Structure 1
């Protein structure tokens, strides 16, 4: 009888340890997947950022227009005027940039997934310092025409307190946010 209890006790301990290791493995796997997604988000944001800066510095209006999603181009008020505005507003060649901030939002509703990145960079050129902010729709399984940049805002760093709100009620719009422009 004592041997049976001992065997049963060993089996219970072994199963408990096995279950604990599975839970630890799942937790470790979820952490690693989260890191990979963050790294991928950073790469996507950096690529979009480089495309924006390169288009501005080369005065490439069509290149800048191509970063926007098809739906953002449809919704935007005067995208061509916004691009002209940025081409005049942003001056100089990039000398440095600070690390970006990329909060992401994942929404899953009725099996449809949306992932949005809010990307903010501080850029110093040979003429001024700017904040470059853009909203990038990374995934939209329901409407793929939403994938791309939705909104782009570039302001002088000195105007940050008055003009920057992470694309909230004050500045969120399709296309290019222009200081002082009406939505």
Structure 2
């Protein structure tokens, strides 16, 4: 009886250690999967935003915004006109940036993804654009989509003294 109890305890310990180790591995895999997901999503969103700006497609750009943002951003149409107008008809030739940042996860929603890109226009001017969007929100699907695009047409050195962005 004693040998059987010891054998069962050893088996339980082995199983619990194996479970703990695979649990850690799956969390690492999940985070790697989330990074791949955010990379794909921000690249897709970046391409859509740039395509709309290059085509001066205000309506297409507006559709990228979440329904909630479309309702709550004051004068969204006017702000989109300003955004497109800032390019003076110049086209974006390249947009390079670091990997996206994200807040939340697939399980703890909402999942917000942020991207920062350095743009080079065909006029050789250089701008920076920041794109923020909600990729997943099962509880409030109206909040899925872009909620902020920020364009900076000035360099870091030219930034106003108290400027913090936004």
Q: Deviations over 1:38-80 (max 9, x none)?
A: 1111111111111110001111111111100111111111111
TM-score by length of 2: 0.82
In structure 1, the residue corresponding to 2:42 is in which secondary structure? helix
- Please list every run of at least 4 consecutive aligned residues from structure 1 whose deviation after the TM superposition is greater than 3 angstroms: 7-15
Instruction: Work out whether 1:104 is the aligned partner of 2:88.
Output: no
Q: Does structure 1 retain, via aligned residues, the 8 Å contact 2:34–2:105?
A: no
Equivalent position SS for 1:77: coil
Instruction: Provide the alpha-carbon RMSD of the alignment.
Output: 2.8
3-state secondary structure, aligned to 1:133: strand
1:1-183 equivalence runs, <5 A: 11-90=8-87, 92-106=90-104, 113-127=109-123, 128-156=125-153, 158-159=155-156, 162=159, 165=164, 171=166
Q: Closer, same or farther in 2 for the Cα pair 1:107/1:29, shift >3 Å?
A: closer
Evaluate the alpha carbon distance shift between residue 38 and residue 112 of structure 1 in structure 2; reply closer, same or farther with a 3 A threshold: closer
Aligned residues: 162
User: Aligned in 2, Cα 1:161/1:72: closer, same or farther, shift over 3 Å?
Assistant: farther
1:30 Cα deviation after fit: 1.1
Residue of structure 2 in register with 1:180 after alignment: none
**Structure 1 counterpart SS, 2:98:** coil
Unaligned runs of 5+ in 1: 172-183
3-state SS, counterpart of residue 38 of structure 1: helix
Secondary structure in structure 1 of the residue aligned to 2:119 = strand
Contact in 1 for aligned 2:97/2:115 (Cα 8 Å):
no
- Is 95-104 or 45-54 further displaced after alignment? 95-104
Tell me how far 1:113 sits from its aligned partner: 3.2
Consecutive unaligned residues of structure 2, counting only runs of 5 or more, are none
